[in-house]
Structure 1
């Protein structure tokens, strides 16, 4: 079976991920400032407030405090826990794991509530980084210390629900998280309740239950509005914007993106603000509101330029270039796209360079410059193929670096040889199931094609049958007309002959008419009918001969007339044979076909035509 290059790259990626299953952490953003020596408790309270209200200022203040310089273990745990919350809010889950491991290193009691909380947060961080084994590991560690009366029980259930979600058991995940949500509601723990609602929305999205997905997104948004934490509220509104964008309800999508923008201005995150502007501009572009889209793209460009966000500048140039192409402002489009191409090469972002090449291809195609368009298209495909190969190498190197880093930091998770062997077996089984699935899909497609061919043949047979029936009716009508005309001519011939024998007057006129009639003027018509009955029954004759090879040409010809259900007398008239001769021939046909006395010859021949 043929496997494409893309499929092979995906399989290689799967095996690399299995091999480097222990996910390390990335480096920390904290600077190398002097050690903080003052009373840390007020500072930590201030940091906690900044984390919710001004994350950028939080980073500046956190850079003043070095974990190595905190002498009080309790304060160190609180500091790194706050830092992990910062990373969690920004989706930097490897850094979140690092900060939690640093906090764990200051906890000496293996059964303390601090350590249980850290383990549950570590399970959460590994859930988001896609390391299901680590989620199970940390959940198993704390399971011995947590029962239904424990204050950590609802958080334990949330981790359990995340584990089922990662295993694609969305129904079980919903069941567990709903149980956690009920406890959190009774505890009035609004912050974690919002997390539970967001996870329920994710599960319902996977099950394509969009009404329930929206319901829980709105519930989470309601809680975050009450908590008045701008960052979480901005993310919640953003998720609602994404939901309505996916439902193609663009007006509501814009509405929620704008609410997200209002809260992001409070957070003062320039990167997220630029991203929000881009999202809104893309929707306005899709709605055909090009002027609004252009203003937002330009505002995003200005913001990125002021804050030296080079990636944002490149993205803005790509978007503006494509928008100007749509508006047929080709010169401006070319300027922006060339600028984006230059930035993508400076930043060494091949994916974005490919996107620029693709849009330059579109631009030249719209201009009618097909040679240039072909050149850009060729360069785009070549770059895209190289990106796939390079991406596999980069991911492999990243996984290897993360693995080595985690070993240096004395990470807890160490996979045994037996566990690695089991994972390889599972991977091979998964690969086998994947191949089996492909085979089943191919077989199913082949079966459907065969069914379609059968349906096509049946349709053709039905069409041919209808066509044959129409021709039979047409021939039968012509034969009837011929017999009527012949009967009338015979009658006229007899009358004229009688008149000629009795009436001498005008004898010469009737004699001339008699001479014309005796020449049998309809003989040619009769010959045409014979030719037609032979030509349109070729397949019928062949099938008869295949089954009854002893049939003579005269008997075959009679069979063609018999299946038209014509009377023996009419057939005799058409064939210029006596009725007795026709009946004798019919008897011979029945004998050669081995028909019983109760079998009707005409019905048999008509049924023989309809059979396969």
Structure 2
């Protein structure tokens, strides 16, 4: 009655304390967490039903008021309690609930939950789940972060599951060093426990004992009864394998002392069986019988059917060794009936083996042979079933892996297709760019060509205009010269005046149309006469004059007027020029002269 009153009082106290801090956030609850946890665990140990009522009431209240901060803290306390009592299924479920309460932005809280999920699955020997959550942690944080020790510890567990015990120990030693530097005792104890397991698997029992004792020292300081019980049992098993029965019994006794605190019927029944087996090996049969009977009674009280079955198997074998054959037969038959009702074939085979031993000791060899045959038959079926289960498991894993590989292949194919499409897109863009560039380049070239053509046309027209102007000026001067000559002739016919005649001749010389023609022609066609002279040094001044006139596209008549010679004389000059140029008579001088200028350019 007093326990119920205390639970109600604690319910009111915790309820008031947490609600009173509803606006202050999660951090304000941390200082009181240790006290609340101890009270939670104490109530759970003393009256589990009161604890469940307390937890359910707070959970319902916080959920209805949408107080997610307080609800998260309540679950956090609850997970510690579940870890203490070893209820890992409920622990995993509660951690997933806590994960749902956290948003993706609260990265630190999620990482902590991932780590705790990994360790919870480790306790349940769920290797795949352990690796899954370990990889979640590694994807979220780097190895050099503040979680380095935890990551190394998880890597050690992974290596241990893969039977890479030496590698596991390397990770665990490094993790233990970090935990020791940071004074993280609970994590350090976990690292020591894992190392002890690895050394046990390697057959190094002395190292196993060394690290188990270091773990026990930490767990005692922390008051972790569950972890102490497990460590004591591990030491007991280790010494039992080495036939150091006194030392094994010593640690089993220490585990039993802790069980008075934890009060776990299942673990207590297990401890009673372990100690009874030691006494049986020491041939202290009364002590072994007492412990087996106590285990049977405890199992019946708490409906632990397997404990009742195993107690009868052990008692049947013990009574056989004590030569109490009737009691042995009764216990073994009871165990056989339980094994069949519970459908435990392995235990049923074990009972047939013990019955065979009993009949052998009695001298009933036919019955012994019959029971032994049943044992081998059941055992073979168990082996075959085990093989089938293993084959089924392997097939399931194969199909799962095949499906996963198919998914990966399809994903890779999809990625490859996307990659090809991306490349085609890039190629298309580049092709369009090249086409656009090529078109612009051609357009630019065409524009340049058009500009050059237009410029050449303008130059040609300007040149033609200048040549026409030059020709007109030259013809005008030819006409002027003719007039001057007429004047001179008239003066000669009239009064002779030597002075006037000399002046007229001077004017005639100044008005030489060829001199002006040459100078202006050079301006219109620079370097023409110079290049022609260099190419054909045999040409005379008259030849160069003729080439220049031809270059101006003058007709034979126009050339004759300028040179004041007949058309036939012009044709004669052209013929002689062809010979000097080593050209045939059929060559058109105008075309040759223009072609020569193009080549020179």
- Give the shorter-chain TM-score range: 0.5 to 0.7
3-state secondary structure, aligned to 1:248: coil
Question: Which deviations, in whole Å up to 9, do the C-alpha atoms of 1:221-271 show, x marking residues without a partner?
Answer: 111111222222222211111111122110000001001001101111122
CA offset at residue 145 of structure 1? 4.0
Secondary structure of the residue aligned to 2:101 is coil
2:378 alignment counterpart: 383
Alignment deviations for residues 315-343 of structure 1 (CA, whole Å, 9 cap, x no partner): 11111110010111101111111121222
Partner of 1:141: 136
Find the counterpart in structure 2 of residue 48 from structure 1.
37
CA distance, structure 1, for counterparts of residue 293 and residue 407 of structure 2: 52
Tell me the equivalent position of 1:241: 236
The whole-number CA distance in structure 1 between the counterparts of 2:374 and 2:46 is 44
Identify which of 247, 260, 265 aligns with 1:265.
260
The alignment partner of 1:372 has SS state of helix
Query: For residues 124-163 of structure 1, what are the structure 2 equivalents within 5 Å?
Result: 124-147=119-142, 150-163=145-158
Does the 8 A contact of 1:320 with 1:336 survive in 2? yes
Q: Deviations over 1:542-571 (max 9, x none)?
A: xxxxxxxxxxxxxxxxxxxxxxxxxxxxxx
1:209 aligns to 2:204 (yes or no): yes
Q: Would you say the 8 A contact 1:117–1:152 is kept in 2?
A: no
Q: Given the alignment of the two structures, is residue 296 of structure 1 paired with residue 296 of structure 2, yes or no?
A: no
1:342 matched to 2:337? The reply is yes
2:104 counterpart residue number: 109
1:166 matched to which residue of 2? 161
- Tell me which of 278, 281, 285 is aligned to 2:280: 285
Q: Is the 8 A contact 1:325 1:333 kept in 2?
A: yes
Q: 1:45: Cα distance to partner?
A: 6.3
1:231 pairs with 2:226: yes
Matched, 1:191 2:178: no
In 2: Cα distance, 1:348 partner to 1:103 partner: 38
The Cα offsets for residues 105-157 of structure 1, whole Å up to 9 and x where unpaired, read as 11113542221011112222344445545434433333354346644322222
Shift, 1:313, TM fit: 1.7
Q: CA contact under 8 A between 1:233 and 1:263: conserved in structure 2?
A: yes
Instruction: Report the CA distance shift for 1:387/1:169 in structure 2 as closer, same or farther (over 3 A).
Output: closer
Q: 1:371 aligns with which of 353, 366, 371?
A: 366
Q: How does 1:134-533 map to 2 (within 5 A)?
A: 134-147=129-142, 150-388=145-383, 417-418=404-405
Number of equivalent positions: 378
* C-alpha distance after superposition, 1:2-28 (max 9, x if no partner): xxxxxxxxxxxxxxxxxxxxxxxxxxx
With over 3 angstroms needed to count, the CA separation of the structure-2 counterparts of 1:306 and 1:125, relative to structure 1, is closer
Report if aligned partners of 2:43, 2:51 keep a CA contact under 8 Å in 1.
no
Q: Cα–Cα, structure 1 residues 271 and 54, in superposed 2: closer, same or farther, change >3 Å?
A: farther
Q: In structure 1, how many angstroms separate the alpha carbons of the residues matched to 2:310 and 2:128?
A: 37
Q: Distance in 1 between matches of 2:83 and 2:270?
A: 19
SS of residue matched to 2:405: helix
Decide which structure has greater helix share.
Answer: 2
Q: Alignment partner of 1:105: what SS?
A: helix
Question: Deviations 1:399-422 (Å, cap 9, x if unpaired)?
Answer: 999xxxxxxxxxxx9997228889
- C-alpha distance in structure 1 between counterparts of 2:395 and 2:80, whole Å: 26
Unaligned runs of 5+ in 1: 1-34, 402-412, 423-612
Distance 1:79 1:388, change over 3 A: farther
State the distance in 2 between where 1:88 and 1:392 align: 35
Q: Could you tell me how far apart the structure 2 residues matched to 1:98 and 1:219 are?
A: 32
Relative to the length of structure 1, the TM-score reads 0.55
Q: Output the CA distance in 1 between the equivalents of 2:406 and 2:173.
A: 32
Distance change (3 Å), C-alpha of 1:313 and 1:47: farther
Higher relative contact order (CA 8 A, sep 6+): 1
Indicate conservation of the 8 Å contact 1:54/1:268, yes or no: no
Alpha-carbon shift at residue 98 of structure 1 (Å): 3.0
Q: Deviations over 1:146-174 (max 9, x none)?
A: 34664432222211211222222222221
Q: Is the Cα–Cα contact under 8 Å of residues 143 and 151 in structure 2 kept in the other structure?
A: no
CA distance in 1, matches of 2:316, 2:393: 33
Distance of 1:414 and 1:79 partners within structure 2: 40
Q: Is the 8 A contact 1:358 1:377 kept in 2?
A: yes
Gap runs ≥5 in structure 2: 1-10, 20-31, 410-601
Report deviation, 1:79.
Answer: 4.3
Q: Distance in 1 between matches of 2:36 and 2:347?
A: 37
Question: Would you say the 8 A contact 1:361–1:376 is kept in 2?
Answer: yes
Greater radius of gyration (CA): 2
**Aligned partner of residue 63 in structure 1, secondary structure:** helix
Preserved contact between residue 53 and residue 266 of structure 1 (Cα < 8 Å): no
Contact 1:55 1:267 in 2 (8 A): no
What CA distance in whole angstroms lies between the structure 2 residues aligned with 1:58 and 1:418?
51
Q: TM-score, normalised by structure 2?
A: 0.56
